[in-house]
Chains A and B, each alone.
Chain A
């Protein structure tokens, strides 16, 4: 499998992966998160685990189980850590711990390195048996509700290290904190090259016309992704340029709020026949790929963002991208070079019009974006970084390591 990345990923990343595979030969690497489907974390784990196994490292992926109440609580924790006020009670924290305790009894937690993804399974550290435990936080912790963070902090401090996606997300918890951006997989169904027939098939299935420019946003129906703001921007553009808008998203099992937001978006879109709201089932990767490849301009107008990997996905397809200046989006979009960063609905509308009216600039930015993703946001780089952190932890105290 790893050979398939030759000629796509930078060669040095592949060489280092093999070298780290030799150093960590036959050791075990356990990943734990809270959903098998939906969202960027699950998606990347699906792709990453087989590649790590191929490097002769025993990689495993476990998912904690929880009921509706648990996921309502963890959604509140998630929102609060991103700065939204939520009402968290003491018994909710107890339930969060209890569900993790039940999971700890069922799961095999023995491994040489254990990566716990996000706050849902963070209490598992209390049931540590062996190995190096690392908390992998994918969300923006730069401005959390302090009270909620103060409940998470004691768990964090029991880990040996934490990994954040962006420097400003880190929280100075007194442990080693590494910065590793997430990534996309260039050979996955979501990002591989498609034939014209495959693209047409998707557009036909969703009855999306191809006679006008398409503005696209792919994301969960979540207020932080500002789908209403996207419709507002589209309406501003529509006064000057004829175009259609496609909002496409998949539901996630750990996001009970998704349905409410979807309803709000549908109501706001009203009966505009040029707005296509697509609720895609999980694993609609090929359709998302086809939509991204059909788009004229891709938007990710997030107000808060973990990282916003849909930005890299669109850039990898050579598309001009407009992103909200939130979370990890500014790391992917170098303003005016690999796309445009915007701070308002008006800004988004203005940049969409610029791209629609200057296809040459749109093409150039798209090409630069693709190269930028190749060097910085492919899965091989992320695996390289995870293994490097693990290897660095095995060689603690050294800042320069010869591999």
Chain B
């Protein structure tokens, strides 16, 4: 079996939530707070939504709140359609969130306030990153590791990596260190918004197993 040029070192991250002290009980308050909260808070409520066992109907906390607490389905659909990875920086993402809310406020009746206790609480996080003590030197080791690592490790390499590098860590390693272009492409084609992290794990396993099977069945000349 082909050995990687560089082993894949599995890492994961843990987020500790911090309250910002800001909350919103209606859409205007949410809008005003989105305009002023820290970048870390916007990051937490958009990118890190995927780390917390998200409901597939939504792709960020704002859409989730609009759907579940404000019960404004159209607004939640529009907010869910925002891809946080499509923006160069948090400020651009913030402007898009504000734009979607402003358009909604112009075109639809003002939503009612949420019931007491269902307010939106703005948070930030402190993130700790650490190696989990696992390295894969070839595709078989990579497969075993993917099967058993925590969901937080998959989040770190599949989602968080997009912020760092614009692409997930797995496909980059498969392409750069193992020369597995097709497999890398298959993993890149997994839609990050349409699966839970367990779902992402299953799809990666499926793609890697398919590739391994092909490798095993190949007849050496």
CB < 8 Å: which of B18, B55, B127, B133 contacts A15?
Answer: B133
Alpha-carbon distance between A177 and B53 when the two chains are bound, in angstroms: 23
Alpha-carbon distance between A165 and B204 when the two chains are bound, in angstroms: 35
Residue of B nearest to A385 (CB): B16
CB pair A401–B126 under 8 Å, yes or no, is: yes
Alpha-carbon distance between A143 and B117 when the two chains are bound, in angstroms: 9
Alpha-carbon distance between A175 and B113 when the two chains are bound, in angstroms: 29
Which of B23, B40, B128, B133 gathers the greatest number of chain A CB atoms within 10 Å?
Answer: B128
Alpha-carbon distance between A12 and B148 when the two chains are bound, in angstroms: 11
- Dominant secondary structure at the B interface: strand
Contact with A along B21-51 (1 / 0, CB 8 A): 1010000000000000000100000000000
Alpha-carbon distance between A167 and B19 when the two chains are bound, in angstroms: 6
**A177-B21, A401-B126 known; A11+B132 contact, CB < 8 A:** yes
User: A178 an interface residue at 8 Å Cβ cutoff?
Assistant: yes
Interfacial chain A residues near B55, Cβ < 8 Å: 334
CB < 8 Å: which of A16, A142, A399 contacts B126?
Answer: A399
User: A180 an interface residue at 8 Å Cβ cutoff?
Assistant: yes
CB < 8 Å: which of A19, A164, A403 contacts B19?
Answer: A164
CB pair B14–A12 under 8 Å, yes or no, is: yes
Contact with B along A378-395 (1 / 0, CB 8 A): 000000110011011000
CB pair B121–A167 under 8 Å, yes or no, is: yes
Interfacial chain B residues near A403, Cβ < 8 Å: 128-130
Interfacial chain A residues near B124, Cβ < 8 Å: 399
Alpha-carbon distance between A172 and B40 when the two chains are bound, in angstroms: 17
Interfacial chain A residues near B18, Cβ < 8 Å: 176-179
User: B125 an interface residue at 8 Å Cβ cutoff?
Assistant: yes
Interfacial chain A residues near B152, Cβ < 8 Å: 10, 12
Residue of B nearest to A395 (CB): B126
User: B17 an interface residue at 8 Å Cβ cutoff?
Assistant: yes
Contact with B along A168-196 (1 / 0, CB 8 A): 10101000111110000000000000000
**A10-B152, A12-B152 known; A167+B17 contact, CB < 8 A:** yes
CB < 8 Å: which of A142, A143, A179, A402 contacts B17?
Answer: A179
User: A400 an interface residue at 8 Å Cβ cutoff?
Assistant: yes
Alpha-carbon distance between A267 and B77 when the two chains are bound, in angstroms: 52
Distance from B106 Cβ to chain A, minimum over Cβ atoms (Å): 30
Interface residues of A in 1-46 (CB under 8 A from B): 10-13, 15-16, 19
Alpha-carbon distance between A4 and B32 when the two chains are bound, in angstroms: 48
CB pair B14–A142 under 8 Å, yes or no, is: no
CB < 8 Å: which of A15, A168, A180 contacts B121?
Answer: A168
Alpha-carbon distance between A372 and B55 when the two chains are bound, in angstroms: 13
Alpha-carbon distance between A244 and B155 when the two chains are bound, in angstroms: 45
Which of A180, A334, A401 gathers the greatest number of chain B CB atoms within 10 Å?
Answer: A401
CB < 8 Å: which of A15, A143, A167, A176 contacts B123?
Answer: A167
Interface size class of B (residues with CB under 8 A): 20 to 34
Distance from B175 Cβ to chain A, minimum over Cβ atoms (Å): 26
Alpha-carbon distance between A164 and B18 when the two chains are bound, in angstroms: 9
User: A375 an interface residue at 8 Å Cβ cutoff?
Assistant: yes
Interfacial chain A residues near B148, Cβ < 8 Å: 11
Contact with B along A348-368 (1 / 0, CB 8 A): 000000000000000000000
Alpha-carbon distance between A13 and B13 when the two chains are bound, in angstroms: 10
Residue of B nearest to A181 (CB): B17
Interface residues of A in 286-328 (CB under 8 A from B): 325
Interfacial chain B residues near A385, Cβ < 8 Å: 16
Alpha-carbon distance between A402 and B12 when the two chains are bound, in angstroms: 10
CB pair A19–B123 under 8 Å, yes or no, is: no
Interfacial chain B residues near A168, Cβ < 8 Å: 23, 117, 119, 121
Interface size class of A (residues with CB under 8 A): 35 or more
Interfacial chain B residues near A170, Cβ < 8 Å: 19, 21, 121
User: B150 an interface residue at 8 Å Cβ cutoff?
Assistant: yes
User: B139 an interface residue at 8 Å Cβ cutoff?
Assistant: no
Interfacial chain A residues near B121, Cβ < 8 Å: 167-168, 170
Interfacial chain B residues near A384, Cβ < 8 Å: 14
Residue of A nearest to B68 (CB): A335
Residue of B nearest to A343 (CB): B115
Residue of A nearest to B116 (CB): A143
User: B151 an interface residue at 8 Å Cβ cutoff?
Assistant: yes
CB < 8 Å: which of B16, B123, B153 contacts A180?
Answer: B16
Interfacial chain B residues near A176, Cβ < 8 Å: 18
Residue of A nearest to B151 (CB): A375
CB pair B19–A177 under 8 Å, yes or no, is: yes
Interfacial chain B residues near A177, Cβ < 8 Å: 18-19, 21
CB pair B128–A172 under 8 Å, yes or no, is: no
Interfacial chain B residues near A180, Cβ < 8 Å: 16-17
Interfacial chain A residues near B125, Cβ < 8 Å: 399
Distance from A391 Cβ to chain B, minimum over Cβ atoms (Å): 8
CB pair B12–A399 under 8 Å, yes or no, is: no
Which of A12, A398, A399 gathers the greatest number of chain B CB atoms within 10 Å?
Answer: A12
**A168-B119, A388-B14, A392-B16 known; A16+B53 contact, CB < 8 A:** no
Interface residues of B in 101-154 (CB under 8 A from A): 116-117, 119, 121, 123-130, 132-133, 148-153
Alpha-carbon distance between A15 and B10 when the two chains are bound, in angstroms: 12
Residue of A nearest to B22 (CB): A172
**A388-B126, A401-B127, A401-B128 known; A12+B150 contact, CB < 8 A:** yes
Residue of A nearest to B148 (CB): A11
Distance from A361 Cβ to chain B, minimum over Cβ atoms (Å): 19
Distance from B54 Cβ to chain A, minimum over Cβ atoms (Å): 11
> Which 10 A-B residue pairs are closest in the complex by CB-CB distance?
A172-B21, A170-B19, A179-B17, A167-B121, A12-B150, A177-B19, A403-B130, A10-B150, A392-B126, A12-B12
Q: B-side interface residues toward A, CB under 8 Å?
A: 12, 14, 16-19, 21, 23, 40, 53, 55, 116-117, 119, 121, 123-130, 132-133, 148-153
